Amino acid sequence: MTGSYPHTRLRRTRATAWSRAMHRENVLTPADLIWPLFVTEGEGVEEPIAALPGVSRWSVDGVVARAKEAAELGIPCLALFPNTQPDRRSENGGEALNPDNLMCRAIRAVRDALGDRIGLLTDVALDPYTSHGQDGLIDAAGYVLNDETVEVLVGQALNQAAAGADIIAPSDMMDGRIGAIRDALEDAGHANIQIMSYAAKYASSFYGPFRDAVGSRGLLKGDKKTYQMDPANSEEALREVEMDLAEGADSVMVKPGLPYLDIVRRVKETFEVPVFAYQVSGEYAMIEAAVAAGAGDRDALVLETLLAFKRAGCSGVLTYYAAHAARLLNG
């Protein structure tokens, strides 16, 4: 119990740097960071993404170089996203099942170069592969079909697993996909491949720059509200998480990040499982815009926002600032 003034003065322990360090309740380290990288075709290619100043798409060799850099910085895991060429996109996203697609080539190249020195988390959803930009198969009215999509997602997950993925991360929000993917991984002898479920993924306005990065912005018609969650809901997030855990998810994700830290906290307190959050592209772009406007200091804003994820209960954060933050933390 907190006593009363003046015997208790909460400012006492804040008076010096050593004392603040001694009383700090949460810490951020490079091991808390997962670095999302965008892969593009070619060799020696770096394509800056205008909507995400400071973030580029890299050809596979560049991804390998970034992976080495990440391992040296103490970042434990990368999240890979492909920018599929327009002529490889289709109505049913079949390129997701191609064992030589951009994603699988990137997975194999990083695995060959780094072995187990870094983890590879791979995105399962069809939006980087469909000509309509939705995460699944659609009917004539454009509605995303659940069970038919899950069948394709299982194939996509097995394809990534065969290429060497460590953590399958379904971001599609179909019902039942975690159980279906878990069963398929077990049957295929991949008992130790993890699943990090994007369990509570909201239909958010913060994903705009990401859609530029994977080339789906211009393609997407309508929105994703029939499968991603309503930002008004919190009870429903607990049901989503509960189902994914029951189906075999090893860890769960909340997305977006900072505006949804109340969800992180509720999930953590309710289930006591590893929870991750995604500081998404629009959050990154907001910080960059604030810095460009002279409204704040980048390094301080980055470290404060990332620490806030830890305080809320996250085991780690997916962030485009991962390498930058790790450099700051390593001093």
Ligand X SMILES: NCC(=O)CCC(=O)O
Give binding residues for Mg(2+) as ranges: 240
207 contact, one of ligand X, Mg ion, none, CB 5-8 Å limit per kind: ligand X
144 contact, one of Mg ion, ligand X, none, CB 5-8 Å limit per kind: none
Per rule CB under 5 A, is residue 240 in the interface with Mg ion?
Answer: yes
Footprint of ligand X on residues 236-255 (CB under 6 A)?
none
CA distance 96 to 100: 10
- Which SS3 state, helix, strand or coil, does residue 106 take? helix
Judge residue 89's burial from the number of C-beta atoms within 10 Å of its C-beta, 0-12 exposed, 13-18 middle, 19 or more buried.
buried
Q: Among 10-18, 60-68, 188-196, 278-286, which window interacts with ligand X (CB under 6 A)?
A: 278-286
Q: Which of 61, 64, 58 is nearest to 46 (CA)?
A: 58
Among candidate residues 68, 221, 224, 255, the one labeled active-site is 255
210 contact, one of Mg ion, ligand X, none, CB 5-8 Å limit per kind: ligand X
Q: Is the Cβ of residue 32 or residue 240 nearer to Mg ion in the bound state?
A: 240
CB 212 within 8 A of CB 128: no
Q: Of the candidates 32, 123, 166, 247, which one interacts with ligand X according to CB under 6 A?
A: 123
CB 229 within 8 A of CB 202: yes
- Which SS3 state, helix, strand or coil, does residue 254 take? strand
Q: Is the Cβ of residue 123 or residue 240 nearer to Mg ion in the bound state?
A: 240
Query: How far apart are CB 139 and Mg ion at their closest, in Å?
Result: 20
Say whether 221 is catalytic. no
Q: Of the candidates 35, 58, 129, 210, which one interacts with ligand X according to CB under 6 A?
A: 210
Say whether 268 is catalytic. no
Q: Is the Cβ of residue 61 or residue 146 nearer to ligand X in the bound state?
A: 146
Q: Is the Cβ of residue 172 or residue 247 nearer to ligand X in the bound state?
A: 172
202 contact, one of Mg ion, ligand X, none, CB 5-8 Å limit per kind: none
Long-range contacts, 86-93 (Cβ 8 Å, 24+): 86/215, 88/129, 89/129, 89/130, 89/131, 89/219, 90/129, 90/130, 90/131, 91/130, 91/131, 91/132, 91/138, 92/130, 92/137, 92/152, 93/126, 93/129, 93/130, 93/137, 93/152
Footprint of Mg ion on residues 177-236 (CB under 5 A)?
none
Q: Which of 153, 163, 179 is nearest to 96 (CA)?
A: 153
Per rule CB under 5 A, is residue 247 in the interface with Mg ion?
Answer: no
Per rule CB under 6 A, is residue 228 in the interface with ligand X?
Answer: no
- Which SS3 state, helix, strand or coil, does residue 17 take? helix
280 contact, one of Mg ion, ligand X, none, CB 5-8 Å limit per kind: ligand X
CB atoms within 10 A of CB 248: 17
* Catalytic residue ranges: 201, 255
Which residues lie near Mg ion (CB under 5 A)?
A: 240
The binding site for ligand X (CB under 6 A) comprises 123, 125, 171, 207, 210, 280-282
